[in-house]
Amino acid sequence: MLVLLHRLSSVLRRLRGWILAGGTVIVMAGCATNAAQDTWKPKGANATKIDNLQKPVFAAAGVVGIIVFAAVIYCVVKFRDRGQPIPRQTHGNPALEITLTIIPALILTVVGVFTVRTVFDLAKTSDTEMIINVTGQQWWWEYDYPVQEQYGITQPIVTSGQLVIPVGTKVLLRETSRDVIHSFWIPALNGKRDAVPGRIQTNRIEADQPGIYAGQCTEFCGLSHANMRMEAVALSKEDFAKWVANQQSEYVAPADGTLAKEGEAVFLSQCVRCHQVNGLTRADGSPAIATADENVWAGVAPNLTHLMSRNTFAGAMFDLSTPECRKDVWESDSATFGPKYLAGVTEECLNQTALRNWLRNAPAVKPMYTNPALLSATDGKYRGMPYLGLSESDIEKLVAYLLTRQ
Amino acid sequence: MFTTGSKYFLGLSVLAGVAFAVSMFFANPSALGATALIGLIGALALLAGVILFARDGDVGSGEVTASSNRPAPKSMWPLVTAGGAALLLIGTITQPVFFLFGIVVLVAAFVEWMVLSWSESASSDDEFNAGVRKRLLNPIEFPVLGAVGLGLLIFSFSRVMLAVDSRFGVALFIIIGALLIVGGVLFAMRPTLKQGLVTAICALAAIAIVGAGVSAAQTGMRSELVAARYESDHEVQRECGATATDYGDSGVTQTISSVSGVNATVEFVDGELLAHVQGMTGMQRAITIPRSSPSNIIFRNFDSGRFRLVAHLGSRQVTEGVVEEVVACTQLIKSGAEQLLTLSIPKSSAANGPYSLSIAGVDDQSIDLVVP
Amino acid sequence: MAIIERPASNVALPFVDAPVTASSTFGVLKRPVAATGWKSWVFTVDHKKIGIMYGVTAMFFFVVGGIEALLIRLQLAAPNGKVLNADVYNQMFTMHATTMVFLFVMPMAAAFANYFIPLQIGARDVAFPRLNAFGLWALISGGIFVNLAWFLGGAADGGWFMYAPNSGPVFSPTHGVDFWALGLQIAGIASLTGAINLIVTVLNMRAPGMNMMRMPIFSWMALIVQFLLLFAVPVITVALFLLTFQRNFGATFFDVSAGADPLLWQHLFWIFGHPEVYILVLPSFGIVSEVLPVFSRKPLFGYPFVVFSGAAIGFVGWGVWAHHMFASGLGPVSVAVFSITTMLIAVPTGVKIVNWTLTLWGGKLWFTTAMKFSIALIVLFTVGGLSGVTHSVAPSDTQQTDTYYIVAHFHYVLFGGAVLGLFSGFYYWWPKVFGKMLSEKIGTWNFWLMAIGMNLTFGPMHILGLQGQPRRMYIWTEARSGEGFFNLGFWNLISSIGAFVIALGVLLFLINVVHTARKGEKAPLDPWDARSLEWLTTNPPKEHNFDVIPTVHHLDEFFHRKYKEDENGAMVKLKSAEDIMAEQERNADAHIHLPSPSYWPLVLAFGLPVTAYGVIFSVPLAIFGGIIILFGAFGWGLEPATAKPSDYDPPINTGDHSGEVVAVG
């Protein structure tokens, strides 16, 4: 075995140069194109500020690294034992040492000045133009828009799944959490900021162009941390006004006798225990208020009033539209993006499989704490959506009803 | 080295240990079972140990000539036994605690007495006999006495700390800690110091602490701790009116430390109630709080007089037909003071509202609480 | 074992039978005095044996943590991995980090420190030998205890940082976190006792003439690490107590509705956690600073600079913890301050890299496996250091933190820094410890596989992170991994392949160990032409380390005993190591008293996990454990440092007691 190893190593030694050169090229050319969460592709003012700061730092670090590598390689080649006498036992050279201490210190001072400036620049909130409250929960985000008349928001809007913002507007996110610490991160718009229970932490985002920007919860938050995704949708100001108007539209009950009407009944008997649909009333005319606080540990489940106005569900884990329709929206240019997005998810585009699988047995497709036998720590309350035991016909009806939630 | 009897008991105690491990790891662990098995292990191991020490009654290496007609040496154990019996009797007619003490004293005295008399017949050499006794009992005596002594010191010191003013308590803690270190360092640096002197100093210090503890226990806890004890009983019934209540408003926390990132800071200035909301510039008359999320609000009273902030959180049905207002409030705090109010509101203000914040006794000022 | 009597060459000591008193026939607990067999290991207080056992323990947990890492990489090799489910994955990455940090790198560093500090400073043992044994057994108890949770309902699943409130009883309902907190508490006791022991040893037991600035650099770095431990471990102790009370006794330290702030945990954890990083790497820095001069045949360049930069890292390391929390919402002032301090700490770290490079400069380099590992450390640690500098830029860090870029960074620091340094130490000191040379042929393969494997594994993680893949996700999705041949899926696969290449390298090391043990060549007295004091004794060292406590005149004392500078400045060899050794043996001390083995450290260390188990499941058991601890402590306190003659079978003659007595504890 040793002989074999030896022979292999001599081959490797001959090819060493090629391997090194090849490796460098691979690393240089080795980046994915169009990675959804690329941190080096800023699409908004805040992320650009970070990018302008980090690129020179990476470059400087690269240069320093190359100098160190070169020095080590030089030493290794030049000073290898060729039978030269034992060198003089020099103990150092203080002048050289001090110089080589001061140089990196100077480089870092320059970096430090720019860093501090950017830190305070990014923390500025005084010129905020719009406020959105962002609340994290295992394992999805809720977005609520406080009353802001200048944007046509006359009553609080509550959504989840996709954070919709107007383009070119300095939006302040007030983040908090209902259970454990989460972290809100849309790399194209800004760095991340933790959502800590009991605290309101602010983070500013601003998008230059209409489009969808992907993100992901980045503070480990338990079982389905990997499935807690988010998307920010930037719309032109006119489109945003339309979106606001739609979110505030009156509840229209499905026509009597339709499948959707039967779905409404199923919703009232099952879903409303946790999920709110604004304006929905019970048979006796009283408003149907969700009682998530009695069934879910964190006390809230996503508001489904306008479910079909967003492309994702279950904490942005699943696409609500089929892959083709999704691609159509994501890849449209900024001029056509708005209308396509505002069209919502239509019956043709609905990702029936994903939605039905979810309704059939949610914990089977997304890990959650919903096994009734293991809920003594939470007084029997769920963390996530439990298995509901819906019949296929109930699922059929519910899908029909949900499709009316445009 | 292991005698027949000891092997038997050692084997049994190991078996009990295995049973214990099995029951803890693989069967359903229960406190009762654990106690029983640990007791069994302890008892069997003790028996095995006693038999090993006593070599199954085979004392020494043969040339044992314990004289039975020597005069019995002095012993304090008969006296202690009598004292224990007396305590036991007193306990039956007065306090059960004396009864318990009596039992402990009796058990200790019996064990000591038994081992002492056994060791006295071990050989004719008194010094050797004392050594035998020590070897058997010191490993028990030292830990027990040490634990009792330390426990007494700690308990006494805790009484002192509960009795003195809290700020003085901090100083006291630092001073005593420093004295201990200084003393330790001094003793360590002067190893030639007479042992008697060191013992005397330590004993004096211990007596001082115990004495202070006794007198502190008689004085009782400091007033705010007494109040806090009552307060926690009355916490649930805290009233949110304009006047001070007996317990709810005693021992008021007037400052907040280490709280940042609060949702809003509500200030009461010159009869006006305004909120500074995190992330917004200027003062607001409305605060948005996420549903079901514990949210911190700081109340600052800049007005003259004592005020409290009250959160009106709609109503809830107690029983059929009986509806109760839901309120939460801070304590009455003096001018210039601040206090934290943590709210968690399960229903939206559209469903159960409206919600608002106001000052008790001031009618025209309020801040809207919006819960989307 | 206990007392080594070396008859002075000209005086024959009369051997007198000790009087057999009756006392020796009483009692079960005869003191363990065996010099061979398993008892000589289990009850030993010899710093060398304890060091070796630390090493074996650490190596075992390295394999355990490595298997956990392989499972993690298997799961992530392809999108939507099916190897582990979410729950098990979360336990896996938590325990991988916990094992590698607390049960591999720290104990392995302790192994080196235990073994070599006394040898390098010219002492016969550590200051408190029984405390030393206790530290080892407490560490083993703690390590087993943490891992016990795997078999009792599931291991800890909150990440090694265990952020509150996710670690609370509601969000982590199994007992995993309890086992984790209490197990680390026990391991922390071990670290703390070890730290005190080694600090006292270094400060008080250096050989005559060895002032602090003549102390070998490894001992210096290990000393700094012990000080860091001394101050950092109490912080995590407090944090773990809060967590234990929150979980088991209904306390509300991190409960927001009771007015608490969960960021308290983060501050406590990272005030411990950042110095911990230096606790992990500084020992390796010490090893490298020993290895590079030996194989460059010249002294460490700028020894005082390396010492003081190590001390500076030790100090400034306390002021940078919040750079782990740039995204936590500390406010711009705190972020700016910690950003600057983090840049500050890069300077002394840079000094070390410069000094190592300049040590090579103008040397006569001998590329042994140890040297290869050390040179690789310079290069790879530089990569980790530079990516660290990019994190100190706080705004940039808010993009990178909690992505694979961070994973890449700290693996370059901890694998490229700490682990490669430890392996360098294995190859360098193996002949000293075991008296046999590790095979250089297998070693070369071991080195290249680990070096290449590590770059394959962690190199691509830079790309993964910068292109937006967050950490701690049990699956990743193709939807967000981009397009092109080099998409994130490709790099995930490469990274997984790399992990197995590393595993192969480690396997070769283990093969090398077995091979060497069975038919390794016997080590010469001075195989590397070494420089420091530990080579002034046999391989493996004698039980009492040195026949004569050496008097030190130089930094690199051993080298200067071998070489002299002639009038032209060239180095001339005066004596061989064999000459020096023979001289030592001629002048050997007559009476060398070493501390005796003891049961009590073992008893005390055994009481700790029993108590901890009781805290989780049954209070009576905790009390029982407390009694064991109390009993052990008193037994220990009442036991003399050296065994009585009557403990020996047959009893031995103690001779006169004029020789030095080394140990007190």
Contact B139 C631 (CB under 8 A): yes
Quote the pLDDT of residue C6: 43
Nearest residue to C102 (alpha-carbon basis) of C70, C72, C65: C65
**According to DSSP H, which parts of A176-322 are helical?**
237-247, 259-269, 292-295
Instruction: Inform me whether the pLDDT recorded for C214 exceeds 50.
Output: yes
**Whole-number mean pLDDT of chain C?**
90
Q: And the tokens for A152?
A: 């046509």
CA angle in degrees (0–180, nearest 5) for A290-A296-A298? 105
**Could you say which of B286, B290, B347 has the minimum Cβ distance to residue A176?**
B290
Q: Would the CB atoms of B342 and C256 count as touching at under 8 Å?
A: yes
Contact indicator for B91, B73 with CB cutoff of 8 Å: no
User: From CA B92, how far away is CA B101, in angstroms rounded?
Assistant: 11
Structure confidence at residue B65 (pLDDT): 47
Chain B closest-CA separation from residue C638 CA (Å)? 9
Chain B stretch 10-29, residues whose beta carbon is closer than 8 A to a beta carbon of chain C: 24-25, 29
Instruction: Answer whether A133's CB lies under 8 Å from A157's CB.
Output: no
| b/e per residue A6-40 (b: at least 16 CB within 10 A) | eeeeeeeeeeeeeeeeeeeeeeeebbbeebbbbbb
Q: Which residue has the higher pLDDT, A97 or B25?
A: A97
Decide if C204 touches B, using CB distance below 8 A. no
Residues 6+ apart with CB under 8 A from C399: A39, A47, A50, A54, A187, A191, A192
Q: Which residues of chain B neighbour C627 with C-beta distances below 8 Å?
A: 143
Task: Tell me which residue of C270, B340, B370, B256 sits closest to A174, measured CA to CA.
Answer: B370
Question: C-alpha dihedral over C39, C42, C44, C48, to 10 degrees?
Answer: 120
Element (H, E) at B266: strand B264-269
C-alpha to C-alpha distance for C484 and C473, rounded to whole angstroms: 23
Q: What is the pLDDT of residue C20?
A: 36
Give B335-370 as a DSSP string: TT-EEEEEE---S-HHHH--EEEEETTEEEEEEEEE
Nearest to C329 among B53, B123, B261 (CB): B261
Q: How far apart are CA C625 and CA C48, in angstroms?
A: 30
Closest CA to C284 of C188, C408, C373, C389: C373
Do the chains contact at C638 and B52, CB–CB below 8 Å?
no
pLDDT of residue C355: 94
DSSP labels, C406-459 = HHHHHHHHIIIIIIHHHHHHHHHHHHHHHSBPPPHHHHHHHHHHHHHHHHHHHH
Contact A156 B288 (CB under 8 A): yes
| Residue whose entry in the numeric block shows the structure tokens 């950042």 | C274
Nearest CA in chain B to C630: B143
Q: Does A273 touch chain B (CB under 8 A)?
A: no
What's the pLDDT at C665?
46
B316-365 pLDDT, tens per residue? Answer: 888 888 888 888 898 889 999 999 999 999 989 888 879 999 998 888 89
Chain C residues touching residue A61 (CB < 8 angstroms): 386-387, 389-390
Contact B261 A144 (CB under 8 A): no
- Which of C152, C329, C620 lies nearest to residue B38, judging by beta carbons? C620
In this predicted structure, which of A313-322, B253-262, C116-125 has the lowest mean pLDDT? B253-262
- B351 in contact with A at a CB cutoff of 8 Å? yes
Chain A residues in contact with C170 (beta carbon < 8 A): 297, 377-378
The predicted pLDDT at position B258 comes to 62
Pick the more confident residue, C566 or C332: C332
For residues C70-99, average pLDDT = 96
Question: CA A364 to CA A242: how far, in whole Å?
Answer: 37
The pLDDT score that the predictor gives to residue C483 is 86
Q: Which residues in chain C are closer than 8 Å to B296, comparing Cβ atoms?
A: 259
Say whether pLDDT at B7 is over 70. yes
Residue C653: what pLDDT? 53
Helix, coil or strand: residue A404: coil
Cβ(A191)–Cβ(A204) below 8 Å: no
Burial class (CB in 10 A: 0-12, 13-18, 19+), B366: middle
C257 in contact with B at a CB cutoff of 8 Å? yes
Q: How far is A254 from chain B (nearest CA, A)?
A: 23
Q: Which residue has the tokens 């994290």?
A: A136
Task: Lowest mean pLDDT of A111-125, B109-123, C252-266, C593-607, name the range.
Answer: B109-123
Residue pair C404/C464 in contact (Cβ under 8 Å)? The answer is: yes
Which of C171, C301, C351 lies at the smallest CB-CB distance from A222?
C171
CB C663 within 8 A of CB C641: yes
Around Cβ C539, how many Cβ atoms within 10 Å?
22
**Residue keyed to tokens 């916490």:** B235
Among all residues of chain B, which has the CA nearest to that of C331? B261
Q: Verify whether the Cβ–Cβ distance C618 to B34 is below 8 Å.
A: yes
C-alpha dist (Å) from residue A49 to A114, A115, B271, C416: 11, 10, 44, 32
Question: Is 90 exceeded by the pLDDT of residue A355?
Answer: yes
Locate the chain C residue with the closest alpha carbon to A29. C486
Residue C650: is the preceding peptide bond cis (ω within 30°)? Answer: yes
Q: Does B232 touch chain C (CB under 8 A)?
A: no
**Which residues of chain C neighbour B55 with C-beta distances below 8 Å?**
25-26
Give pTM, 2 decimals: 0.88
| B265, β-bridge pairs | B276, B298
Q: Mapping DSSP to helix (H, G, I), strand (E, B) and coil, where does residue A234 land?
A: strand
Sheet of A162-166: strand order equals: A162-166, A229-235, A211-216
pLDDT at residue A4 is higher than 60: no
> A211: closest CA among A229, A230, A231, A227?
A231
Report the residue from B291, B294, B342 with minimal CB separation from A300: B291
By C-alpha distance, the chain C residue nearest A13 is C448
Distance from CA of C331 to the nearest CA of B (A): 9
> Shortest Cα distance from C329 to chain B (angstroms)?
8
Q: According to the model, what pLDDT value does residue C5 have? A: 47
- CB-nearest to C297 from A54, A62, A87 is A87
Residue A5 confidence (pLDDT):
53
- Written as one string, the DSSP assignment of C289-345 is HHHHHHHHTSPPTTHHHHHHHHHHHHHHGGG-GGGGGTTS---HHHHHHHHHHHHHH
The sign of the dihedral angle between the CA atoms of C575, C576, C577, C583 is negative
**Chain C residue at shortest CA distance from B262:** C261
- The residue with tokens 């801040």 is B367
Q: Which two tokens stand for residue B2?
A: 């292991």
Question: Edge-to-edge strand order for the sheet containing B286-288?
Answer: B286-288, B362-370, B355-359, B309-319, B322-329
- For residue A216, what are the β-bridge partners? A229
The answer to whether the beta carbons of residues B333 and B301 sit under 8 Å apart is yes
Contacts of A298 in chain B (CB under 8 A): 292
Q: Which two tokens stand for residue C499?
A: 């992990």
**C332 and chain B: CB distance < 8 Å anywhere?**
no
pLDDT of residue B129: 80
What phi-psi label fits residue C448: left (phi over 0), alpha (psi between -120 and 50 degrees) or beta? Answer: alpha
Nearest residue, CB atoms, C87 vs list A85, A86, A367: A367
Backbone torsions φ then ψ of C446, nearest 5 degrees: -55, -50
List the 304-363 stretch of B: residues with Cβ below 8 A of C: 340, 342, 344
- Helix-helix angle A352-360:A392-403, to 10 degrees: 130
More confident residue, B73 or A296: A296
Give chains near C: 3+ CB pairs under 8 A: A, B
CB spacing of A200 vs B295 below 8 angstroms? yes
Which residues touch A10 (CB under 8 Å, ≥6 apart)? none
Whether residue C230 lies within 8 A of chain B, CB to CB, comes out as no
| Euclidean distance between CA atoms C123 and A53, whole angstroms | 53
Angle between helices C176-204 and C600-617 (to 10 degrees): 150
Beta bridge partners of A318: A313
Can you give the pLDDT at residue B166? Answer: 84
Query: What spatial distance separates the first Cα and last Cα of chain A, rounded to whole Å?
Result: 69
Say yes or no for a CB contact (<8 Å) between B60 and C631: no
Residues from chain C contacting residue B139 (CB–CB below 8 Å): 631, 634-635, 638
Question: Quick one: pLDDT at residue C23?
Answer: 38
Minimal CA–CA distance to A301: which of A320, A274, A279, A267?
A274
**CA dihedral (C130, C133, C139, C142) positive or negative:** negative
- Residue pair A46/A204 in contact (Cβ under 8 Å)? The answer is yes
pLDDT tens per residue across span C147-185: 999 999 899 999 999 998 999 999 999 999 999 999 999
* Partner residue facing A38 (CB), from C361, C467, C472: C467
Closest CB from A126, A278, A293 relative to B292: A293
Out of B280, B291, B350, closest to residue A131 by CB: B280
What string of DSSP letters covers A116-158?
A: HHHHHHHH--TT--EEEEEEEETTEEEEEE--BGGGTB-S-EE
- Chain C residues whose CB is inside 8 A of the A4 CB are none
Give the pairing type, strands B286-288 and B362-370: parallel
Query: How much of chain A, in percent, has pLDDT values that exceed 90?
Result: 80
Return the residue of A nearest to B294 by Cα.
A198
> A43 CB contacts (<8 Å, ≥6 apart)?
A188, A189, A207, A208, A209, A211, A213
| For residues B94-119, average pLDDT | 87
Chain B residue with Cα closest to A173: B279
Confidence of residue B232 (pLDDT cuts 50, 70, 90): low
The nearest alpha carbon in chain A to B340 belongs to A198
- Chain B CB contacts of C618 below 8 Å: 24, 29-31, 34-35
Can you read off the two tokens belonging to residue A375?
């809920």
Residues 128-157 of C with CB under 8 A from B: 151-152
List the single residue in C85, C480, C486 with the smallest CB-CB distance to A36.
C480
What pLDDT does residue C272 have?
A: 96
On average, the pLDDT of chain B sits at: 84
Half-sphere exposure of A1 (CA within 13 A, CB side): 7
pLDDT of C34: 75
A&C contacts, CB < 8 Å: 340
Q: What is the mean pLDDT of residues C251-277?
A: 93
CB C533 within 8 Å of CB C552: yes
Q: Across all residues in chain A, what is the average pLDDT?
A: 90
Question: Could you tell me if B30 lies within 8 Å of chain C, comparing CB atoms?
Answer: yes
Phi, psi of A39 (to 5 degrees): -85, -5
CB contact under 8 A, C621 and B135: no
